[in-house]
Structure 1
């Protein structure tokens, strides 16, 4: 396309010289000369405008040229700040999380838990069933629920979560979480494309707006971000995935050692334990467990894991049918996501900014110019043709006036 645009400009120059030498033969040749002359002006002007975006025309240090290389660091900071303000702010994450029913999804998943097999000896099972039935159900239930609640209060969940996350990362069980984050990022980008277009339009110069290059740049930036997300989804060794894993590792470390984060986890645990719906669930869980134990004890052929599966299915049903418990879990998920955006959003922004700043000016220029692609040369072609048409109109006005 560079050859086409340059060739068209050379053709207009040749046409101008030919028309100039033959101008005396017929008045109509004057229109051809005016077209070629104005087309050269338009083509040269647009060549200058397109070139000035990425480099100095003819390597001359003309003021206000090589715009992108000169503003590389500012572009990096602006793009990073755009990501921070429109994707990684707690308000944006909270607004997105409000649309997600985490508890409902967990409830639907728990409604069909996996099963496992096991047996109990006939004599031992009968003895266990007799003892279990002889105990006071109300008192035993109260003791069991109190023991569960006390045990939960005594457990420091934050280090456990941190250790579990570290173990998951060590065995690559965190990959589904990363894949989910990437899919979420793709949806967020798709929903906020208009913000990118608006930012590029507002920050573009008058030349870029006049030529329509701002819209082209916005489209290419959006396409580039979509391509980046797709590459992250397809390439397990992508560098941004490595950075995300570093963030998860830091989160696991913070869960185990950061006092402030541990206090927030403990606050959520206390709120859960005080929730009446959660207490009712504990009561229901004990009753279901007791009934399941009795059925297993009476029938040693029944699988123990299957009974635990019933308890899980009940919990899943409770999550789907109890609005207060579901709301508590959804609030926790929302606070966790918002806290992650607040704590680690700046790190992601710095990664983007430092990466772009680390590129040399030639790399930035080449990548952006190739990203915009053929449309840059179409601007030159259109400028040549439009300039020629304007020249014809002006020549006609001059002739008839």
Structure 2
């Protein structure tokens, strides 16, 4: 089915299948009329025998190709001639053959991997992420609208429950005591515990100032009647309060104070206990479970989900504003890394290639089955109309070429016979 025949470009307007069918049929009728005219005039004009031979052979060629083209889709002239209406009678076999062809040539894992070896997915993704405008913007806005509509259409309560449940389950499965111990040990090793000590000392000083009346009252209650009689309880309370205040000032201003060393020692011991002492780890896990069971944590997770959901929808509704901030900087940086780092680009391309090849291996059979079942579900008329619409124009070129080639062959044979 090719268009490279003698009359493949006879009409610059390039008519459709119906127009080409009319041209092919008209050419056949023209050859029949030419044959009748030359047959009647040949006795008086012998040279018309050449024209008659051309027209006669052209009729035969045109009729043969008309029969062949028509027999593909229906019975010629409605007659149930054997081996006609080939496509409607064999549509199931054609569908299975087409599906197997797709499977063997496109959905085999090694074929997919080989075809994707020359595709730079990472580079294309990197260029897309770095594109502030142009075609990439339209795609990004379309994807953003889809994400926003998806999040707004989903059941907020159910999706939020899934989100909160997933976080709670992950926290419940995670043993936090070793993590806290390792973080504390790392902070002490890097001297990042100093601000924590300063904050603790400052909190102790504020607590002392806030509870000074309570301390004085406790000293008075615990002092003996002799001290109260001698009015020494007030002096003892003053001495205790001033001593505590002086201690906090000295600890906060002297980095080498022994109390600081004791506090660091206590923190170091706590970090070790959090990582290795079973009793401490069990106690922390119990606290964690009590905390997760607390209603306030559930409310906090709910607020976290609502804020996250609102942020995602707002960013999706206005992707240009979202990409203009830190998120845009992160994406552009990621795009530059994807495009410019050969090692990362090769790793990403390899991952994509393996993923697509794996999908072809896993779902190729389903795709093949879908093609085969879809064609099997069509009725014969639908198959005929769709295939004839797709290739009908080229098939009419076959009729035209057959008519002309047949005529040329007949003319050549007549010349040989005459000579």
TM-score category (smaller protein): 0.3 to 0.5
Rg comparison, structure with higher value: 2
TM-score by length of structure 2 reads 0.44
TM-score by length of structure 1 reads 0.46
